[in-house]
Amino acid sequence: MPNTFFKSFFVLICNFLFLQAEQLTDSFRLDGYGNINLHKTEDPNRDKLTFSGGVQGRYQLTENISITGQMHLKEGENSSSRYSNSLEDYDSELKWLYIDYYLVNDITLRAGAFQFPVFKASETGDIGYTHTWTQNPLSSYGVFGCDDFQGVELLKNFSYEDFDFLAQLSFGKSQNILNDGRGDERRGDVDNLIGLTLKTTHEDFILNVGYLQAESTISSNNDFVQIDPNVDFSMYALETEIYLDEYTLKAGLIKTDLTNVFPETIRYYTSLEYMYEDFTPYILYSKEIVDFKDAPNNAPKRKPEVKKQAKEKYSLGLRYDYSSNVAFKASYTYEKDTLRYDDSSNNKNGSNVFMGSINVVF
């Protein structure tokens, strides 16, 4: 595994070291990114070497209208339903495809396909180079499998003294597969999705506040387990970065509430980074708490049944910026999983994880 990692590293560095974003014409710009991640644990069966990347293009149609699209590539599954790095098994995902219309007074009307807008890194979640860490502390940028939508957005930029603000209103719908956290997936039509986001930028900090709510109508593949097809969910997100000379403090809190059989979650993280020339060591703590709902009355009962799950991660890592578009990262993480059952018993497991990554942008 390590030999493969270093061979891949050599090949990609040779290709990406001198690449930069291309302004192909006066109207068209093309950007791209690539990630190589090595995930090594005490269990060799869990070791992984993953590749992902993508491209984003922006075309300026007129002075007031532009089109933006982003395509993300990641490893998929082979015919045996196992993760595969073979090119023929790679999955492509359209992350963004929208048209911007620039109105007066720094107001933009946007229509198309988007990711959920409430996170600080909603637009950069897959671009490893934009993050200090080897692994993002948020396990996902969505609600149990639902993370994108089609609709319209209204954006307003404004300033007050030394503060810059971006207010964003989103409205749309989606179709996704919602996961109940116990392994049962149900396809749902998400309607009346409304998002409100306010990002505040100052030379000393960034503060991002977001709220999202939606209604979903779900269907089940299991004809023997009947549940209410109506699901409401809401999400609250609060994230910040505070700059203190060479130190950067980052923190976030995300709370998700769902009705019906779907669990509720609280995710939070905090990290402290220190920048010394091209090196950035950091410490990171994150935790995710999942509160499970009672299973439907006519569903098969699992005894004992999990009522709450907590995942904690303690990380120590280092980032090295080799150039303006290539970063090397390494980290050690202690992961602790705790399961609490309906009979009041607990099950705790801990594991050591080593990660290395190469992130490039061009």
Planar angle of CA 18, 19, 21, nearest 5 degrees? 140
Planar angle of CA 173, 176, 178, nearest 5 degrees? 120
For 132, how many CA atoms within 13 A lie in the half-sphere containing its CB? Answer: 22
- Residue given tokens 């109207």 in the structure block: 27
- State the Cα torsion 337-212-174-178 to the nearest 10°: 20
User: Which CATH superfamily groups domain 2-361?
Assistant: Porin (2.40.160.10)
Phi (first) and psi of residue 133, to 5 degrees: -80, 160
What are 289's two structure tokens?
Answer: 């708490």
Mean pLDDT of 47-73: 89
* In the predicted structure, residue 10 carries a pLDDT above the cut 90: no
3-state secondary structure of 44: helix
pLDDT recorded at residue 264: 82
Distance CA 304, CA 53 (A): 41
pLDDT recorded at residue 1: 45
Please give the residue that has the higher pLDDT: either 79 or 280: 280
Model confidence pLDDT, tens digit, residues 187-209: 777 788 899 999 999 999 999 99
Range from 86-90, 109-113, 175-179, 248-252 carrying the lowest mean pLDDT: 86-90
pTM score: 0.83
* In the predicted structure, residue 111 carries a pLDDT above the cut 60: yes
Please give the residue that has the higher pLDDT: either 19 or 161: 161
What are 351's two structure tokens?
Answer: 């594991």
Among residues of the chain, what percentage have pLDDT more than 90? 44
